[in-house]
A and B are shown apart, each in its own frame.
Chain A
């Protein structure tokens, strides 16, 4: 009886209603889990942790001279999404990536959306990741964001909201697939009765997406995954995807640009590369154009891309759409380009650079979540209700100095999910959700995604660098 003492404590709980009744899509799972004791459950958990260690599914802890590797904490209670809810999410995500790609196409060409005053031009031009060098450059099939990992949350009523669009190098997808494998090993009999959609076609879909954007529609392009290398915390994922796709995994030093073409150094000499799935940020991509101190990139790569001899996924300059100030305008983009209302709403957002919003933010800092426009991983952020008065004052100074760099949002009480706690019992923990969207010949959304969970009691921060873990996410064929 794993859930006997479980309390929802007034939060929106994914598995139980406020009255403590199990939701229909969790029924089968609850039945099966109820057959286990907490002790048996804990044993399964330990053996799963061991298997991650044995398989080397680990990330390297930064700044540790011994090169210590850790596993990404994994919780065995899966998060379940029923069919109708998933179809709603799919529609919303499809709408969003379509609008974002149209926006990027527009700001790097005609800039209609700026000229017509829908988004103030100054916001785009001042965005940290806007790349004026790319104005007027044609990218293959007009696709900028090929791989997107939109972060979604649910509020206290259970409504889905978009928290941010990750249109640069969203990571975590390998964990989705490895988590599923781990669940299958731990509960081999659970899946046949549960009606869970498989996630394993992702690598195949990704390869198709990458091949679709090959230069000049080349038939049998050579595809490579560009990684910063073995010490990067996402290296496992890079090699996982390369292996699953049958693509080469390359480091900057493996590539060479000659006559605006990109080549790999092989044992047989130089071989041309056509499509690069790069897992290196713009800034580090080409030291002859961007940061000259970057040893991770490839001198001349940007020029080869401009010349149309190599395709990059995602394209250069997509970071402008990741700017949290630009996030505020996504509903307007949807209206402007598609003439639709947003299907999945944004979290209400205040811009510190707008006069009235600024006043509101300064008067209510302690109630709000304040975020800097271009930080990720849960950094550069103030959670007002959890901060001390001194921390609030410190942040207000920063906002005053650089209003363009800050936005604020009301503190959303994220939905909770039963999670095996450090006290070896089931307790509610806050979660979010990152589905993975591929934009190629068509839009493909993996039926699943990464559910991240804040393992510390009461914490709202789900990032792995700050005490977060993950869960397997089940999208069902049906509604129960």
Chain B
């Protein structure tokens, strides 16, 4: 072996020996990006599922007129998108317009495309914090949604298209758990995932709260109600899990109970918030039943509420009203977390410049 050859080998070995763990703290901006990266991925996945289920349940209608189409799609635009933007861009709420709006529209910040672009943007800004495998998958999803041939796939076979989006989101959850360090970064990502999931599950329920709250359905309405209940479950990928737990005919109240309060179904609001709370507490190390900041206080309170509430009580308040209050709380928890961990010592640039100049003149 020649001298310089040996040097190269030695320096490579040196490289392996000299791996020192870097200091264990995380930039607030990085934490924020990881949180939002997973939130957007979860949102893209949820919307893909909801749109797909809606498209499929249209196949069960006997006749489709403008009115029934509007009934089917209208609430989706309202809960998932932005009605005003939609009204500006499209003439009527038919399948084509709504699915396009929720899937590819760039002026809709919650379209699947926009969510993936935002997730990838966040991933890119923390590229050094996520694994190569994760980055490649997010980038692949981004190139997929951006490519022209994907549009064709979507038109020819929407089922395959939405499956691809969901599949990628599952893959990324697996990759996060299998290829990245389980530290604070993953905790923020998990919090983003579960907060978004809780929010989405509650929205899905809310879209159909009217139908689910009809207590005395009969005949044709009963059939309609049961189709819709199944659709709600499928939108949360809860259909099989529900059957597994209840093994009876689907009743709307049970659907609401399952999606809000189920103890061990990973998309119920209760399960999501318990998981969120777990990761939130891991950050500070505070014990259950105690809190060290506003976020922990609010989160703990909501988890307790969900733990000790029955579906009868919820229906007594009114499903829509109850979901409204839950969504309000989810927002407050997100904000409180942001203030506790991300927004540390926010400063204005102008003020900083002025202050630093004063220091320099002393």
Contact = CB atoms under 8 A, between A and B. Distances in A.
A300 B8 contact: no
Contact of A201 (B12, B121, B188, B349): B12
Nearest to A83: B4
Interface in A249-306: 249-251, 253-254, 256-257, 260, 264-271, 286-289, 292, 295, 299-300, 303
A267 B356 contact: no
Nearest to B3: A477
Contact of A270 (B29, B121, B345): B345
Contact of B139 (A56, A286, A287): A56
A195 to B, nearest CB: 9
A286 B356 CA distance: 10
Given A204-B15, A267-B28, A271-B23, A197 B356 contact: no
B316 interface: no
A76 B336 CA distance: 53
A248 interface: yes
Q: Is the interface of B mostly helix, strand, loop or mixed?
A: helix
Interface residues on A, range: 35 or more
A198 B12 contact: yes
A299 B8 contact: no
B349 A295 contact: yes
B18 interface: yes
A243 interface: yes
Contacts of A200: 12, 15
A18 B357 CA distance: 63
Contacts of A295: 349
Contacts of B143: 53-54
A242 B342 CA distance: 22
A246 B22 contact: yes
A205 interface: yes
Contacts of A222: 23
Given A260-B359, A299-B355, A300-B359, A239 B2 contact: no
Contacts, number: 124
A201 B139 contact: no
Interface string B139-151: 1100100000000
Given A201-B8, A299-B356, A477 B2 contact: yes
Interface of B: 2, 4-5, 8, 11-12, 14-15, 18-20, 22-23, 25-29, 31, 121, 124-125, 127-128, 135-136, 139-140, 143, 184, 188, 283, 341-342, 344-345, 347, 349, 352-353, 355-357, 359-360
30 contacts: A54-B139, A56-B139, A197-B4, A201-B14, A204-B15, A205-B11, A235-B124, A240-B127, A240-B128, A246-B19, A250-B27, A253-B29, A257-B356, A265-B28, A265-B29, A265-B345, A266-B28, A266-B344, A267-B26, A267-B27, A270-B344, A270-B345, A288-B352, A288-B356, A288-B357, A295-B349, A299-B353, A303-B356, A447-B8, A477-B5
